[in-house]
A = this chain, B = another copy of it.
Amino acid sequence: MNPFTDIPADSVSALGEEKLIAAIRRWLGAASPRAPFGIGDDCAVLAPSRGRQLITVDPVIYGEHFDDTVSPRAAGGKLFKRNLSDIAAMGGRPRAAVVALALDRRVKLTWLEQFYRGLAAISRRHHVPLVGGDIAHHRGGIVATLTLVGEAAAARVVTRTGACVGDSIWVSGALGNSLRSGHHWRFAPRLAEGQWLARRRHVHAMIDLSDGLAKDLRVLAPRGAEAALDSGAIPRRAGATLAAALGEGEDYELVFALADRADRKKFAQAWRKKFPRTRLSCIGRFVRAGARPSSAVNLADYRGFEHLR
């Protein structure tokens, strides 16, 4: 859906601020608790956190993360899920979200309603209330920014650092062809999987794939090491070439390093028992820089998504 209209009566400017906020609360329904625990005061109030807190922020921008081919409901859902995926990558549990919307006054009310209903659906599915936000005018564009706070679900959070030479490299789901297949807004954030992985001490490091395996895996590599990947083991989405699986991005899958001493067979069995519907692939291992076998993929031949280029 194209978000804009030239008919003032159909646009967000028609309602006026007070009625617009009332409409947003109606669209959000049970996803929006009452103030001070939700929308309606200077800040939202949350109960104290039990464990360490997590915080992450990601936007969706019209023309960058969604366009007229993506429904507003899907765009709202994508915004929420991108951030849930970041919490998943630390093995955390999401707690509450706030959304800041910068939008042109010509945005259609129907577009906005479906956008918020998309947010509300994800809020309900994952039991993460939308506790606050802001809406402001921005000539010519739509920038929606969601900040998610969460907390550690296990005794530890899994960070991007901690992988060792010899660790095996694993990935959930399948990669590539995210844009054309609609995976970029259809995906399910790997929250349960991330929490399960955080409870296993053999999981050394983890990241979620947003800019493509070739780029994101460099972040996970230990100092003085590189990834040696088996090209045949890299799980590809239908229609994805190897280059697409390595470089396109927006996969929102988890990649993690597992200790060399872990029993890989038992580990994979335990995963299959817990997550029978989520594919898991061992795609290679970290080796000393320069020690990559000639049969392994040379990641330097592939590029991930580069922002601001």
Which residues of A come within 8 Å of B, CB atoms?
A: 12-13, 16-17, 20, 35-36, 40-59, 61, 63-65, 86-87, 89-90, 92, 96, 98-100, 102, 105, 131-141, 143, 145, 147, 149-152, 157, 159-161, 207-208, 306-309
| Contact in complex: B141, A138 (CB < 8 Å) | yes
Could you tell me if B45 and A52 are in contact, using CB atoms closer than 8 angstroms?
yes
Between-chain CB contacts (< 8 Å), 9 pairs: A16-B308, A16-B309, A42-B207, A42-B208, A44-B54, A57-B147, A63-B138, A139-B141, A140-B140
Question: Please, which residues of chain B bring their CB within 8 A of the CB of A64?
Answer: 136-139
- Residue of B35, B47, B98 near A57 (CB, 8 A) is B98
Bound complex: CA A306 to CA B150 (Å) = 33
Query: Can you name the residue of chain B whose Cβ is closest to the Cβ of A86?
Result: B42
Query: With the chains together, A137 CA to B307 CA distance in Å?
Result: 7
Contact of A43 among B44, B90, B140, B143 (CB under 8 A): B90
Q: Which of A100, A140, A207 has the most CB of B within 10 A?
A: A100
Q: Is the CB of B137 within 8 A of A306?
A: no
- Residues of B within 8 Å of A150, CB to CB, are 43
- Residues of chain B contacted by A43 (CB below 8 angstroms): 54-56, 86-87, 89-90, 92, 150, 157
**Which residues of the partner chain B approach A98 to less than 8 Å between Cβ atoms?**
55-57, 147
Flag if B100 contacts A57 (CB, 8 Å). yes
Q: How far is the CA of A102 from the CA of B59 in the complex (A)?
A: 8
Q: In the bound complex, do residue A131 and residue B48 qualify as a contact, i.e. CB atoms below 8 Å apart?
A: no
Verify A58–B140 contact, CB threshold 8 A. no
Contact present for A53 and B46 (CB under 8 Å) = yes
**Cα–Cα distance between A309 and B8 once the two chains are bound (Å):** 10
Within 8 Å CB of A42, what residues of B?
56, 86-87, 89-90, 160, 207-208
Return the chain B residue nearest A309 by Cβ. B13
Chain B residues with Cβ below 8 Å from A47 are 52-53
Q: B58, B86, B141, B149: which contacts A100 (Cβ < 8 A)?
A: B58
Closest 4 pairs (CB-CB, A-B) = A147-B147, A42-B89, A46-B53, A43-B54
Q: Which of B13, B48, B57 contacts A50 (CB 8 A)?
A: B48
